[in-house]
Amino acid sequence: MKIGFIGLGIMGKPMAKNLLKAGYNVVCYSRTKKDIDDVVAAGAEAGTSSADVASQVDLVITMLPNSPEVKSVVLGEGGILEGAREGLIIIDMSSIAPLASQEIAAACALKGVRLLDAPVSGGEPKAIDASLAIMVGGDLDLFEEVKDILLVMGGSAVHCGPIGAGNTTKLANQIIVALNIAAVAEAFTLVRKAGVDPSLVFDAIKGGLAGSTVMNAKAPMMMDSNYKPGFKVDLHIKDLANALDTGHQVGSPLPLTALAREMMETLHADGYGGDDHSALARYYAKVSGTKIGEE
């Protein structure tokens, strides 16, 4: 099977490379030429547009920032549907609003194109080592048809329900991750202010009920003041905004999500939107006057 890959950012680039390593023929496209060149150097072919990619392949994977970008790439001028033939499969692995996934899928169906929404969790490290958690919405038979391809990029791929269910699952994931990071930052700021070594506290609690994948990944970054992005604050703001919008639409109050988003908006306003979301520690440093780690 020949696969198109559109969107070669922090996540998309290693995902496309993992498909190449698995022996798939990949045609790639991105707005940034150097990213195309990097994936081409790994063995891919370069497309000239989203439509051009779609015209050459059996399946297109998109990995884009948000709903407007996915709508533009799929439905817009020079987009996937412009070059698509009937039977093309699209797997949108972007994290977008569930209702947007449903709108895009409906437009695709009019051209005989099938779509799955399949957002991922794990950030850049898991994109690189192909251990992403993939959450999928759409037709179950189509999911089974492409599951082996998904598992080239991820350690798990779970069908969560109809179109939009993948992104609903991702929103739940992003709420839990954001609040977990905030809790870690709050707790370790308390530890530092109380005069206790955060590294010793981390060793003491990581094997207990407070232990988590999030704490294991983010507490060391906070202690090292290392905010190199695996997942940027600004992208998490986008996800939490989608969660809040979806919550309003379905009547589900999300007060803690709103608080976490405002904390991240403070980081954005302070110029840290490009930092890893573990930079929530910076928010607590600002309000407490105490840093968890050393700059």
Catalytic residue among 13, 17, 126, 170: 170
Contact 200, 268 (CB under 8 A): no
The set of residues, in sequence order, having a beta carbon less than 8 Å from that of 286 and lying 6+ positions away, is 266, 270
Contact 286, 266 (CB under 8 A): yes
- Measured from the Cβ of residue 72, the count of other Cβ atoms closer than 10 Å reads 14
Give the type of residue at 123.
G
Give the type of residue at 275.
D
Q: What is the DSSP letter of 276?
A: B
Residues 98 and 111: their CA atoms lie apart, in Å, by: 21
- Buried b / exposed e along 249-263 (16+ C-beta atoms within 10 A): eeeeebeebeebbeb
Contact 108, 142 (CB under 8 A): no
Known catalytic residue at 170: yes
Q: Which residues are known catalytic residues?
A: 170
